[in-house]
A and B are shown apart, each in its own frame.
Chain A
Amino acid sequence: MRALRIGTAALLSALALGMALPSFAQDGGISTSEPLSANMTVSDEGLITYAAESCDYGGQFLSITALDANTVQFQLCFPDPALPSKVAFSALGIYPLEHLVATGGGGEALYRNPVGTGPYMLGNWELGSEISMTANPNYWGEPAHEPNLIFRWNSEAAARLVELQAGTADGIDNPGPLDFDVIANDPNLALFERPGTNVFYVGMNNTVAPFDNVLVRQAVAHAIDRQRIVDNFYPPGSLAATQFMPPSIFGYTEEVTPFPYDPDRARELLAESGVTLPIETTLSYRDVVRGYLPQPGVVAVDIQTQLAEVGINVTIDMQESGTFLDNADEGNLSLHMLGWGADYPDATNFLDYHFGAGSSNQFGDHFPELTSILQEAAALADPDARYPLYVEANTLIRDLAPVVPIAHGGSGTAFAARIEGAHSSPLGNEAFSVMSDPDDDNLVWMQNGEPAGIYCADETDGEALRVCEQINEALLAYEVGGTEVIPALAESFEASDDLLTWTFNLRDGVTFHDGSGLDANDVVMSYGVQWDAANPLHVGRDGSFTYFQAFFTNFLNVPAE
C-alpha cells in the first residue's frame, strides 16, 4: 500500500493563510486535531474523513472517507445508480490537496493555473489569445501523441472554417450549418458529426407575468413550430424535441407526445388565460454557438416571428454570455432561449439539473410534484422501476410547460484530413491526447470561446470543461468518442447492494503535474471543498459550484439567507 505523502507545502501555505489545517507530519501522516471544517476529521494515520452529521441537510453525501492511501469510500443518503456517470464528469476532477490549500481554493492562482494528472499540462494561458499545453511526460496512461496542444477561439463559425482551410488550425468545433457541405466536399478536411445528445429549449419563468399563468406557457408551446426550426436552422442529424431529453439518454420515452404546433389552439389558450393581448415580452438569449443552438440570432428571430402570429410580441434581448447565464440561474429572465448538452448519459443530468430539488431558479419556483418524482426516480437502481417515473416526469414537464423543448441539435467537429485519431464526442469532450499531426509537433484546436476559468469544479461552460478534460482527471472517465464510463484515477469501484456505499480503488503510480503523488486525501478534499460551503477553500471562481449542487442536491453547511 502506498503511504500518504508529506504535505509540507500545504502546511506552510495554510499557516500563511492563517487557516487551521491538518498538519502533515514528517512520517507522511496527518496528525493535527484542528481540521478545516467541523465536518472533517483526520485519523491518527492521517486519513481524512468528511462527514455530515445526518442526511437532514438535504444533500446526497453522508460521508467521504479515505480508508487508506488509495481507497476512498462514499456513503450516500439515498441510492444513486448514476453515481459512476457523475463522478466521471470533469467538474469533479481531482486536485492535489496542497494546490487547493496554496491557492486558498480559488482566485486566479487556481482557476487560471490548474494542476491535474491528465495527459496534458497547462503551459501558458495568453488571455484573449490562446491556451497552450504540453504533453505530461509522467502520464500514467498512454502518453499524448502530440507534444503540444494549443486551444484558440473565435465565436464566428466562418472565421473558424477559414482558419481550418488556411491551415492555421488543425481542428475546429461547431462548423456553421451551411458549412457542413463545404467541409464534406473538401478532400483536405474531415467532418465528424456529433449526435444530438442535447436539448435546446425556450424557458419561461413561472414567477413573472404573464408566464405565471400555465395557459400562457402552454400557448407558447403550441405556437412554436419545432419541426420548422429544425428543418431550416439546424444541420443534418438534428431532431425536433418531443421532451426535455434526447432519445439516446435513459429516461426518454415515446409515451409522451409534445403539444402539437397549433397556432389556433395557442390563440384559444391565450384567450382562456384572460391576459391582455397582445402580450409584450422580452426573449433573452446569448449569442454563443453551441451544438444545441447553432444559430442563436436566427432562431431567436424565427421564434419572434412565430410568437407574433398568435399575439405575443417579443423584443429580442441579446446578453453577454456570463451575464445571461447568471440572470437565468437567478430567475431574472421571463422568456429565454438556452440549452443543455449531456454531461453523462442519464435522465438525472437533464431533469434533476433543471427541475430537481437542487436546481436553480431558472424557471421560477420549483414544481414540488415534479421534484418529488425526480428524487424518487434518482434513488432507484432498477431501470424498469425508474422508467415509469420518468414517463410521469416528462408528462408533467409538458403539462406544466416551464419549458418548450425545441430541438436536439446535431453538430460536429472538423479537422484537417491528415490529423490521425480525429473524432467528435457526443458529450463534447474530445480527447486530443489520442490525436496526432504528422506534419508538426503542434495540434491547434479552435473552439467557440475562451474559458472564463479552468478550475472546472466551478465552471459550467463547455468551452472551459473541454480544456479541463485535457489537464484534469476524475475518478472515472468517459470512453473516447463515446459515453460509456471507464476507469480513470480509480482503476475499479464497488457498490453495496443498496447503492448507498461506493468504494473507489485508486490507481497506483499516478502523479500530479507538480510532481506530487495522488492519494485518497486528494480525492476527499477535492470533493470536500465543493461539498462543504463552510470550508474556507469553498471559493472557486464565483463560488457557485453549480454542477456539484445539481448532481448531489445540496451543499453542506449552507449559510442561512
Chain B
Amino acid sequence: MTTDITIPKLQAADIPTATRRPQSMLVETLYNLKRNRSAMIGLAIISFMFALAIFAPVIAPYNPLQPMLDRDDHRGLGRLPGRAPCIHLLGCTLEEPEHFMGLDLNGRDMFSRVLWGARYSLVVGIFSVAIGITSGALVGMVAGYAGGWTDDILMRLMDILLAFPALILAIAIVSFAGPSLENALLAIAIVSIPVYARLARANVLSIKEMEFVTASRAVGASHKRILFIQIMPNALTSLIVQGTLDVGSVVLTAAALSFIGLGAQPPTPEWGAILSEGRNYVFTSPHLVFFPGIMIMITVLGFNLLGDGLRDAMDPRLNRN
C-alpha cells in the first residue's frame, strides 16, 4: 500500500516572522523605524524643514535682508515696521501686499526671513554635531583602544570639559573668539565633544575584546587597521543615534546664543536672532516672536522624535519581534 504524501507548499505567510527578519543591521533599523509612528512624524518634520532650507530662495517671496520701507507697492500703508501678518484669504485687503508672517521691526518680510532662517539653524545643527561626533569619536576611540596613560589624559581632559554646563562653556568660548555664527557653531561642537568621546570609548572598550578583533590582532593587522576598519564601523552606530538626538538641542543652543547676541549677527536671519529682535514687542506684535519660536520648537521636536525612534529601533532589548 502506498500512501501519497503531499508536502504542502510553503506559503510566504506561513514562514515565521523571525525567519523573514532582515539580517543587515541597517535594514533592520529602518524596518523598525518605519513601524515607529513618532519617528516617522519626526522624519517628516525634518524632511519638511530641509525642503524649506534648500528651496528657501525659490519659496521666499522677498529678499530677507531688504526692508519694504522704500518699495512703491508698500507706500501709503502707514507704519510698516512690526506690521501684523496680511493674508488675503483671511480677509486682508487685496490692496495690501501679502506677508504671511507680517513684517519685522526693520520692515523686512518675516516669512522670507524665517524660511532663510531654516538654512542657518539646520546648518549649525548638522555641522556642529558632525564636528562633535568626528572629534569626539577620534578622541574616544584612541583613548579606549590605547588605554593606559593616553586614556587617562584624554578622558580627564574630557571630564574637565564636561564639568562645565554646556551653554555656559559655549558662551565663554564665543565671548573669547568673538560673536559670530561660525564661532557659535564651533563652540557648540567643542562642548559636545566629551559626550561623544565617552560614548566612543565605551564602545571601543567592549568591541576591542571581541573575537574578530582578537583574530585580526593574531594575524598581525596593524593598530590603525584594527581601529579604523574593524572597530570604528561598529562603534559609530550609537554615536549617530546620539548625534541625531543632539541636533535638536544644538539648534536650540545656537538659537540661545544668537538670542543673547553671541551667535548670528545682524542682519543674518537666524531664528534665535529673529526671536531676540522681537522680544521687546511680545505683547504688542506677537508675530515677531511667535513664528521664529514655533519654527525652533517644531524643528527640535522633529529631531527629538526621530532620535527617540532611532534609539528604539537600534535597541535589541526593545525589539518587538
Contacts and interface: CB of A to CB of B under 8 A. Distances in A.
Asked whether A and B interact, the reply is yes
A364 interface: no
A179 B79 contact: no
Interface string B61-76: 0000111011000000
Nearest to B277: A297
Given A305-B65, A316-B265, A298 B285 contact: no
Nearest to B265: A316
A318 B277 CA distance: 13
Given A302-B106, A305-B106, A156 B65 contact: no
Q: Is the interface of B mostly helix, strand, loop or mixed?
A: loop
Contacts of B80: 232
B140 interface: no
Contacts of A156: 279-280
B266 A297 contact: yes
Contacts of B66: 305
Contact of A158 (B67, B266, B267, B283): B283
A300 interface: yes
Contact of B266 (A162, A179, A301): A301
A248 interface: no
Contacts of B81: 232-233, 298
Which residue of B67, B277, B284 has the most chain A CB atoms within 10 A of its CB atom?
B284
Given A298-B81, A304-B267, A232 B281 contact: no
B265 to A, nearest CB: 6
Given A232-B69, A232-B107, A182 B266 contact: no
A318 B107 CA distance: 21
Contact of A176 (B67, B107, B277, B281): B281
Given A295-B105, A305-B106, A158 B280 contact: yes
23 contacts: A156-B280, A158-B279, A158-B283, A158-B284, A162-B283, A176-B281, A178-B82, A178-B281, A178-B284, A179-B284, A182-B283, A182-B284, A228-B70, A295-B105, A297-B277, A298-B81, A298-B105, A298-B277, A301-B266, A302-B67, A302-B106, A305-B67, A305-B267
Nearest to B105: A298
Contacts of B285: 178
B146 interface: no
A431 interface: no
Which residue of A156, A178, A315 has the most chain B CB atoms within 10 A of its CB atom?
A178
Contacts of A231: 79
Interface in B105-119: 105-107
Interface in A231-253: 231-233
B174 to A, nearest CB: 14
A178 B279 CA distance: 13
Contact of A300 (B65, B266, B282): B266
Nearest to A287: B261
Which residue of B107, B265, B267, B280 has the most chain A CB atoms within 10 A of its CB atom?
B280
Interface string A289-305: 00000010110111011
B280 to A, nearest CB: 5
A301 B279 contact: no
A490 interface: no
A356 B125 CA distance: 53
A157 interface: yes
Given A298-B106, A302-B106, A305-B65, A176 B267 contact: no
A525 interface: no
B25 to A, nearest CB: 48
A529 interface: no
Contacts of B277: 297-298
B317 to A, nearest CB: 49
Given A162-B283, A176-B281, A318-B261, A301 B267 contact: yes
B266 A316 contact: yes
A184 to B, nearest CB: 13
Interface of B: 65-67, 69-70, 79-82, 105-107, 261, 265-267, 277, 279-285
Interface string A308-329: 0000000110100000000000
Contact of B106 (A161, A176, A179, A301): A301
Contacts of B282: 158
Contacts of B82: 178
Interface string A515-542: 0000000000000000000000000000
Contacts of A176: 280-281, 284
Nearest to B80: A232
Contacts of A233: 81, 105
Please give me the 8 A-B residue pairs with the lowest Cβ-Cβ distance, nearest first.
Answer: A298-B105, A158-B280, A301-B266, A178-B284, A316-B266, A232-B81, A301-B106, A157-B280
Contacts of B107: 232
Nearest to A301: B266
Nearest to B66: A305
Interface in A206-245: 228, 231-233
Contacts of A162: 283
Given A158-B281, A176-B284, A232-B80, 12 more contacts: A156-B280, A158-B279, A158-B283, A228-B69, A228-B70, A232-B81, A233-B81, A295-B105, A301-B106, A305-B67, A305-B106, A318-B261
B79 A232 contact: yes
A156 B285 CA distance: 15
A291 to B, nearest CB: 16
Contacts of B70: 228
Contacts of A301: 106, 266-267
A179 B285 CA distance: 10
A266 to B, nearest CB: 15
A298 B67 CA distance: 11
A240 to B, nearest CB: 14
Nearest to A229: B69
Contacts of A228: 69-70
A297 B106 CA distance: 10
A26 B282 CA distance: 65
B69 A161 contact: no
A143 B81 CA distance: 45
Nearest to A302: B106
Contacts of B261: 318
Contacts of A304: 266-267
A161 B265 contact: no
A462 B280 CA distance: 21
A176 B107 CA distance: 16
